[in-house]
Structure 1
Amino acid sequence: MAYSRIDFSASFTQDSDEVQEMFCEHCDKHDKQYVPAEGFCVKCFEYLCGTCVKFHKRLLVTHYIKDKDYMPQDFCIEKCSVHQDELVKFYCQACKKFACTECKTQDHWYCSMVSHLPAFVPGIENSKASEQNITNLQDYDKLFTYQEIHESIIPRTASYHTDIKVSCCSYSSLCLLSENCLLVTYFNSRKLIIFKDMSVSTSSYDTIDLSSRCWAVAKVDNIKVAVTFVELGIIKLITFSKCMTVTKTEDIKVGEGCRGVAYSNNKLIVSYIHYLATVKILDMSGKVLKIFDKDQHGNCLFVDPYYLTISADNTVIYVSDLRKNCVIGLTFDGNVKAIYKDDQLNKPCQLTVDRSGAVFLCGLWSHNINQLSPDLTKVKILLDKKQGIKSPAGVAYCQDKNRLYVSQCGDHIKVYELSME
């Protein structure tokens, strides 16, 4: 889902000598009352009072609202001549007409150059926006253009939901096969832990005994996972029945040092640690199709690529490098698309993405969960010690319930419900 937003710079919001107090458009339209605005919805282009903000957030949870300190100071107080309860807010550069929200929806829905009339536009600062004085402007490019932004860059809020009672004794990897089925690996254990139905119980689980210490687990399809075994140099494909009993296993030789694993378009993407320090794309028989170890300039890409995952659109491989303290985004051709490195990230571990493309990353020694955009731009520190996060290593996202699962060394798996700020 796309979100509407205008990029207002600080100079256009707070630097005027005379800042107008904005009023709630809902109260003006429906109750004919003047109530000071406390927020601005960038989806609806509407100013809202505190009460209307509360109900707007409750009823339209995906809308992004700027609070009073960051909302634009808009001079558009001219009423529409067609829809007399609506304010003139837009100018269509294609049709060369002004529009209120209703006009924009009815007459300009197909127009690509519909501009919002923001605060302090060059040429009309310190004056009220009206058709007369805006028409006199020669440079319509100075108006801000209506933009679409994706929900992946909207900051999330994480609310604690519950604990899943299982001891997380070391590095771990989480994988959701469905909204109620969770698989967990621990490096110091030779077991795969399975929570078959978390809607019934989050304290009861089964274990599968394994021949060696496993590292990462990734979903292949709704009944199949891939598990890496560092010491054996294999990936084990495990197929389950509907009641989550093992029906088939298959070993794929992939070479020593295999750590992270992901699946995409009938291919396995595997990371290798220490002196190998590579990422390989393999077919389902283990044949190497591509090897990524150098960047475009011939420099080593990785030092210790422990975990990896795939972007929501299946175009980018996200690799967390434990010793380089960064996340590297690679295309499937091996080109570096983005790198995330931050003072608030120490020892990055498992990472996951939601359906929109937002990236959630564990900082093991920084004791936090980072939220990143699809291009690996920092959005916010989603969780840290203040929310009880300590040494997080594994993370998984549930699309159906909009929940984040976080495993912590020496602690239970914590579950958080996500929402838009």
Structure 2
Amino acid sequence: MASSTQDSDEVKEMYCEECEKHGDGYTPAVAFCVDCVEYKCVTCQKYHKRQSKTHKILDSDSMPQDFYFEKCSTHPQMLIKFYCSECCIEACQECKDNGHVKCCDVNHLPTIVSGIQQSDHFKEFQQNLNNLSADIKDAEKLLNAKSKEVDKQEEKANKACKEHADQLIAAYIQQHQDVIDDFDKTVEETIARLKKERLELDEELSEKESNFKNKITKAEIDMKEEVVSTNTNFKLLKSKHFNLVENLKALTADLEQAQKLGQNCKLFIKLKFTKQLCENIRENNEQIQQAYIDRFKCKTYNIQPTELSLESDTRFFTLERLSTVERRVVFNFDINCNIDIISSLLALSETTLLILDYRKCRQVIYKLGTSQAICIDYITFETNPFDITKVSDYKVAVTFPNERMIRLITFSKDIKVLNFTDIQGNDIYTGIAYTNNCFIVSCLGPASVKILSMLGEIVKTFDKSDNGQNLFIEPWYLTVSPDNTMIYISDWDKHYVTCLTFDGKVKAIYKDDQLKTPQQIVVDEYGSVYVCGFNSYNIHQLTSGLTKVKILVDQNDRLHQPRSVAYCPNIMRLFVGMPNNIKIFNVSIE
């Protein structure tokens, strides 16, 4: 085989090239065709003689025996059998036939190497190798001699270096000792002086410490007074509420006494002249309910604790106003309500949740417990309800886009419908909020936000920016800030939330890759904004200025296409409406 022939110096056997080309394995060669320049086995030789009768065939004794088994790099299946003296390059049969057609001196490699070992060229080459070997040995002797000289030179240099280093170290150590001796002499003289200076310094620092404590105490007192002043207006609400209660008691007592004594004239006069008083009591009570708490914290200044900074600084505390409070939610329980499209939620009170069933044209009323909810009633409508807002403790307003109408519904204390009033308009009302005896509504076709009186009269319309661009495309929901200064609108088509002032100025826009098709939007008592991401499956918490606080709830909380959201500040619960399910979360401050 070829491999054994290549890797061994003892086995010299050529194989049939014809068999190798046709994939018949490796067969020993017994003849050589001079004309084809190919080795052949017994079988191939027999057929070759029939086909090429004029070709000269050499038998195994006379065929070239100096075999060269290297394969061609260009044609890996071909043996290198030729050498071109003109190109000075070896070649296989393919290379010879294709690349050396015009070359006149291309010879069979085993043929031209015959007798090479007896040639002058080979003898000259051997002589050169012998001369080179002798030169290398002479160089080795010379290198060894020079190495000994180098070793002696290194030893002498190292010795001189060590001696000089020892001298330098000794001198350096002595210098240190001299420094220590001089210092010891100075210590005794210094100690007495330092003791005296320490006593003087202690007296000076004690006086500064007393002054600094007084300054800090004053700053602390000022800070406490500012805290009290900040909450004064809110605390006054308690006395205002007490006065409302007393006024209502006095009015009720007068009416009951006149009725009991049959003093109809007095009763008539009271009824006529106390109508405005009742209205004032109602408005003041609503203001108390909607009172906004200023959120703040005591911020301390980062002062470097140096004597100079502590003495020179005059401000150590300040009140930092908080635009929002970061929330944390914990899942409480589910309501499996079998409502396909929950278009709006409203926590009327801590025990009552109102749900708008858009597809079945009804309002569903649930009674809330600590860990469960019970459906207690339905209110059926003639058309599809869209959004709901609280007007007072027992009154709500519902929008009906298909009828271009707002319906005011008044309940009894046990949440039974007492009466309702329809406000007809010319716009397709979707979102709605109530504040300051007005309705804020979002409208479609054309898209806008409008402020309406309680009779449905248009007070203001917001639809264009200062540069004349449309503010909205599909403003489905909106809400109002606790201090009644901002309107927040979610735009389904634009995928963002817009903050408007009550004169229509754009204060901020919130747009985030993680908020898709925003739906119902609410605010809490601290001004934080919560918006449903219908197609992003999450609830975003934003500051009052519409900067992102966090994603409060998402798919990890099993949210799926949340459309509606409500918040109850009295029990700090967040309600999220999804297809056929409402999830209720307990909310806390981080």
- TM-score where L is the length of structure 2: 0.50
Q: Tell me what 1:251 maps to.
A: 422
- State which of 211, 217, 220 in structure 2 corresponds to 1:105: 220
Structure 1 residue 105, shift from structure 2 partner: 3.0
Structure 1 residue 163, shift from structure 2 partner: 1.1
Q: Is the 8 A contact 2:333 2:371 kept in 1?
A: no
Deviations 1:153-205 (Å, cap 9, x if unpaired)? Answer: 22111000111231231252001211111111132221111114546951323
Q: Tell me what 1:299 maps to.
A: 469
Work out whether 1:146 is the aligned partner of 2:318: yes
Deviations 1:337-391 (Å, cap 9, x if unpaired)? Answer: 1111111111111111111111111111111111111111111111111111111
Spell out the pairing of 1:128-143 with structure 2 (5 A cutoff). 129-130=305-306, 132-134=307-309
Counterpart residue identity of residue 420, structure 1: I
SS at structure 2 position matched to 1:206: strand
SS at structure 1 position matched to 2:363: strand
Counterpart residue identity of residue 541, structure 2: Q
Q: Is the 8 A contact 1:310 1:317 kept in 2?
A: yes
Structure 2, unaligned runs of 5 or more? 1-204, 228-297
Q: Tell me what 2:432 maps to.
A: 261
CA distance in 1, matches of 2:372, 2:401: 32
Bigger strand fraction: 1
Q: Is the 8 A contact 2:325 2:526 kept in 1?
A: no
CA distance in 2, matches of 1:169, 1:97: 68
Work out whether 1:388 is the aligned partner of 2:563: no
Structure 1 residue 117, shift from structure 2 partner: 4.5
Specify which structure has the bigger relative contact order, considering alpha-carbon pairs within 8 angstroms and separated by 6 or more residues. Answer: 1
Work out whether 1:415 is the aligned partner of 2:580: no
Q: Is the 8 A contact 1:181 1:198 kept in 2?
A: no
Q: Is the 8 A contact 2:478 2:489 kept in 1?
A: yes
Structure 1 residue 255, shift from structure 2 partner: 2.4
Q: Name the CA shift for 1:101/1:366 in 2 (closer, same or farther; >3 Å).
A: farther
Matched residues, number: 315
Q: Name the CA shift for 1:200/1:313 in 2 (closer, same or farther; >3 Å).
A: same
Q: Is the 8 A contact 1:168 1:407 kept in 2?
A: no
- State which of 491, 506, 519 in structure 2 corresponds to 1:349: 519
Deviations 1:126-162 (Å, cap 9, x if unpaired)? Answer: xxx13x232586xx59x88634132x52211100011
SS at structure 1 position matched to 2:384: coil
- State which of 382, 392, 395 in structure 2 corresponds to 1:224: 395
- State which of 330, 350, 353 in structure 2 corresponds to 1:159: 330
Counterpart residue identity of residue 194, structure 1: I
SS at structure 1 position matched to 2:454: coil
CA distance in 2, matches of 1:115, 1:178: 35
Structure 1 residue 226, shift from structure 2 partner: 0.7
CA distance in 1, matches of 2:215, 2:536: 48
Q: Is the 8 A contact 2:219 2:316 kept in 1?
A: no
Spell out the pairing of 1:10-25 with structure 2 (5 A cutoff). none
Structure 1 residue 331, shift from structure 2 partner: 1.1
Q: Name the CA shift for 1:341/1:247 in 2 (closer, same or farther; >3 Å).
A: same
Deviations 1:82-137 (Å, cap 9, x if unpaired)? Answer: 9x9xxx9xxxxxxx95679866434664589x98352xx6xx5xxxx13x232586
- Root mean square deviation of aligned Cα: 2.9
- State which of 288, 294, 300 in structure 2 corresponds to 1:116: 300
SS at structure 1 position matched to 2:433: strand
Structure 1 residue 295, shift from structure 2 partner: 1.1
Q: Tell me what 2:82 maps to.
A: none
Q: Is the 8 A contact 1:189 1:214 kept in 2?
A: no
Q: Name the CA shift for 1:187/1:147 in 2 (closer, same or farther; >3 Å).
A: same
CA distance in 2, matches of 1:405, 1:98: 51
Structure 1, unaligned runs of 5 or more? 1-79, 89-95
Bigger helix fraction: 2
